[in-house]
Amino acid sequence: MSIDQYEFIECPGASGIRIPCVKRTDGLEEDTTGVRVPDWMVYIEESDVQSTLDGYEDEHTELFGWYCESSRHVTGNSSNSLYTSGTLWHSDVFLVTQNAAHNHNINKWIAAGDITPSVKIIRLTRVNDVIEPIQEILFEVIHWTGIHAYLDWSITRFTACRRTNKVWGFGQDGTAAGQAACETNYVDNTIAAK
C-alpha cells in the first residue's frame, strides 16, 4: 500500500492532529476473492467488541486509521538514559474505528479513570491466500484519555506505559523470513530488542 492510498482526517478538538486513514474508493485494487481483508485491525482487551474475520473475532474490530509518535528528549547535558534530558516520550495513541458498542466501555473507562490491560494494532496481508499479520504493535497498561464521535466513526485515544513493536518478514514466494521486535518501557525509560 502506498501513501496515496491514505487520506487524512482532522481530529476534532484542539489537538491539531491529522490522522491517516485507509481510503475506501472504487479506484483501489479489488480483492480477487470478493471478500476484502482489512488492512488494519485493533484488539482492545475487555472491550466486548466482535469481528467476523477468522482468527480475529473476539475483542477485535477493523481499524480505519491511527496515529502516534515516539521520541527521546535529548539536550547537551544528558549523561545517561535516566536523566530528564534523555527521557523517552510517547504521544497519545489515536484510533479511528467504527462508532460501535465498544465505545460504551471506553466511555466508562474514561469516566472511572480505569486502567485496562492492553491494546494491539495489527497490520494484515494475504500471503498465499492466507491472512497473515505482518506487524503488531502491543500497548500495555492503558489509560484512556478521550473519545470523539465522528459521524459513523469514533476517534478514541489512550496513553500506555509499554509498547512492543513486532514485524514479520516474508520472502517473494510467501515463506516466513523471520521477525524483529523492540519493547519500549516508558516507566523505566528503557528499550530492549526481542
Q: How many CB atoms lie within 10 A of CB 159?
A: 16
**Position 1 pLDDT exceeds 50:** no
Closest by CA to 106, choosing from 156, 165, 170, is 156
Residue 62 banded pLDDT, cuts 50, 70, 90: very high
Dihedral Cα 156, 158, 163, 164, nearest 10 deg: -20
CATH topology of domain 35-193: Pnp Oxidase; Chain A (2.30.110)
* Cα separation, 48 vs 168, whole angstroms: 28
What's the whole-model pTM score? 0.84
pLDDT in tens, 75-96: 766 566 555 667 788 999 999 9
The residue type found at 167 is V
